Amino acid sequence: SAVISQKPSRDICQRGTSLTIQCQVDSQVTMMFWYRQQPGQSLTLIATANQGSEATYESGFVIDKFPISRPNLTFSTLTVSNMSPEDSSIYLCSVGYSGASSYEQYFGPGTRLTVT
Amino acid sequence: DAKTTQPTSMDCAEGRAANLPCNHSTISGNEYVYWYRQIHSQGPQYIIHGLKNNETNEMASLIITEDRKSSTLILPHATLRDTAVYYCIVRPTSNTGNQFYFGTGTSLTVIP
């Protein structure tokens, strides 16, 4: 299994500012994803982070609000831009390995964001 | 979109087996059933997955019905540390996408 770390683990931010969350994996992975978990809710997929190209966003999420970078096979960032209190959530990075017909996806510990 | 239906919550006595059901009546032939759990304030943790046959590992057993329209996750001897939200997910076997779409899950409370 992969070991995934996220920075910061939590933050309190002012409305209108931006926060960049980092995700680091201890091994090269093919797939990296970003999820959001609003208070008391399940996980919602934001986007797939593609190495060397633009991320693929799910319906309801746009690049201007959640720009994503993935410069190599072990690292990705998610920025939450122009934050509002509605962006208060846990943001989770996950990774997966392609090449197998059935594979497992591993999750980081999450970044707990509070916007005031 | 999530393709599974699970009860919102369940209780289980410590030391007893916890049986968590999941309905996936629209599952396709090439889709696996995955189970994850999320303990409070942590990221989801992989438990087990299967396609057609029943599966067992050190954490749990997965029983999939013959028509594959439902499955049951079994924790054979539940402990207090098994209290968590359990998610049942279906995912295609192809390598395209690989995204997991989470439903609402079942909140399992293990009672002393």
Q: Are A1 and A92 in contact (CB under 8 A)?
A: no
Chain A: closest CA distance from residue B14 (Å): 25
Q: pLDDT for B74-84, tens place per residue?
A: 999 999 999 99
Do A102 and B93 make contact, defined as CB atoms within 8 angstroms? yes
A48 chain-B contacts, CB cut-off 8 A: 99
Q: pLDDT for B15-70, tens place per residue?
A: 999 999 999 998 988 888 999 999 988 999 999 999 998 999 999 999 999 999 99
Please say if the pLDDT value at position B94 is more than 90: no
- pLDDT score recorded for residue A2: 80
- pLDDT score recorded for residue B54: 93
Average pLDDT for runs of 10 along chain A of length 116: 92 98 93 94 93 91 97 96 97 81 81 97
Instruction: Inform me whether the C-beta atom of residue B86 falls under 8 Å from chain A C-beta atoms.
Output: no
Give the distance from CA B93 to its chain's centroid: 17
Cis omega (within 30 of 0) for bond into A8 = yes
Q: How confident is the model at residue B1 (pLDDT cuts 50, 70, 90)?
A: low
Please say if the pLDDT value at position B103 is more than 90: no
Beta strands in chain B (DSSP E): 9-13, 18-23, 31-38, 45-50, 55-56, 61-64, 70-75, 84-92, 106-111
Do B44 and A48 make contact, defined as CB atoms within 8 angstroms? no
